[in-house]
Structure 1
Amino acid sequence: MSELERYYRVLELEPGATLEEVNQAYKDLVFVWHPDRIPQDNLRLQQKAQDKLKAINEARDKLRSIKVKHQPTTYSHPHQHQPTTYSTPHPSHQPHPPQPKKPPQTGYEPSSKNTDLSGKDFSRANLSNKDLSGRNLSFANLSGANLSDTFMHKVNLRGADLSEANLFRANLLLADMREANLRSANLIGADLSGADLRGADLTGARIRSGDRLLVKLIGANLAGAIMPDGSIHQ
């Protein structure tokens, strides 16, 4: 079995499944295997859930990177009619060279060329289900933005304004969120495993349902962070 076939099998999909099917399978499996749904005293199942989530995250990460890479491709491909950031001669139906500069101001579309989005204004933007992995969004304005189910693996959000943002089920594995403003943000179901949250402000952020913690913080660095109740994490 090839690596690609193994990734599809982990997500319980047939080879060649669409990006939408990959996203949905990922959400379904994370819901099933999230450690918060398993009794904390059942160490065997907790470990199994951790292993499953690691494999699920890796499979979606690999499949999404492959599929996104084949959309704005650099080879001669039918999809090349979409605007690119190169100055490549192409049919006359693309007469406006400056157009590639517009997406960050309107609706962000995943592109391997738009890696540096530092300081951009995405306040109240709908970025749900986008792939922002590896992007530089340091000091960006994402206040009130919809980031539900957004894939943000290793994203740089240092100093970013995420106040009142909806991060429901967002994947923020290994994200740099130092000094980020997360005041009143919705973090229910978010995965912040390994994220750097030193000095972040989480005052009033939603992370619990009753006494149950619904945010994954395995390996996260919370030193000096202001917690939802206003206390400073030591």
Structure 2
Amino acid sequence: MAEAPFTALTSEQLIAANLTGANLRYAHLTNANLSGANLTKAQLQRAGLYNANLTGANLTGARLDIAFLVQADLNQANLTGANLMGANLEGAKLTGAILRQADLYKANLTGADLTGAVMIGAKLTGAKLTGAKVTGVKLRD
């Protein structure tokens, strides 16, 4: 995908799409359905993923620094090694998500549902977890 200041994909249906390594920096993906999509190593810096459906998506090694994932559905998503530094995940659903070795430095997880998430080796320095549901979160092997 060509470099652009932004890509408007609002409300798009990208179910199970193969977007491996895609350059989606600054993309507008509000309400997009990316459930089951392969976004391995995708570039999503500063992307707007408000209320996006990323259920079961593979975001291994993805760059989501300063991305806006407010109210996004990331249930069962694989975010192993993802960079979420400064990302806004307020109210996001991350039930059963895999966040092994993910970098959540200064991420906003206010009110997020992390029930049963696997966060072994995740970096949480400066992360805001006010009101987050953390029942059953796995932090160690």
Indicate the residue corresponding to 1:226 in structure 2.
113
Q: CA deviation at 1:228?
A: 3.7
Q: CA deviation at 1:110?
A: 3.5
TM-score by length of 2: 0.80
Contact 1:176 1:197 in 2 (8 A): yes
Q: CA deviation at 1:218?
A: 0.2
Alignment of 1:94-173 (within 5 A): 109-110=1-2, 112=4, 115-173=7-65
The residue type paired with residue 125 of structure 1 is A
| 1:217 is aligned to 2:104 | yes
| 1:197 is aligned to 2:86 | no
Indicate the residue corresponding to 1:182 in structure 2.
74
Distance 2:3 2:63 in 1: 18
List structure 1 runs of 4+ shifted beyond 3 angstroms.
none
Alignment of 1:2-151 (within 5 A): 109-110=1-2, 112=4, 115-151=7-43
Q: Report Cα offsets for 1:178-218 as digits up to 9, x if no partner.
A: 0000000001000000000000000010113xxxxx11000
The residue type paired with residue 69 of structure 2 is M
RMSD, matched Cα: 1.7
Indicate the residue corresponding to 1:46 in structure 2.
none
For the pair shown, which has the larger CA radius of gyration, 1 or 2?
1
Contact 1:110 1:132 in 2 (8 A): no
Contact 2:6 2:25 in 1 (8 A): no
The residue type paired with residue 18 of structure 2 is N
Q: 1:222 to 1:182 in 2, by over 3 A?
A: same
Contact 1:206 1:228 in 2 (8 A): no
How many aligned positions are there?
Answer: 120
Distance 1:180 1:188 in 2: 17
**Which 5+ residue runs of structure 2 have no aligned equivalent?**
118-130, 134-141
**Which 5+ residue runs of structure 1 have no aligned equivalent?**
1-108, 209-213
Per the alignment, in what secondary structure is the counterpart of residue 35 of structure 2?
Answer: coil
Identical aligned pairs, as a percentage?
Answer: 40
* Structure whose residues are more often helix by fraction: 1
Where relative contact order (Cα < 8 A, 6+ residues apart) is larger, the structure is: 2
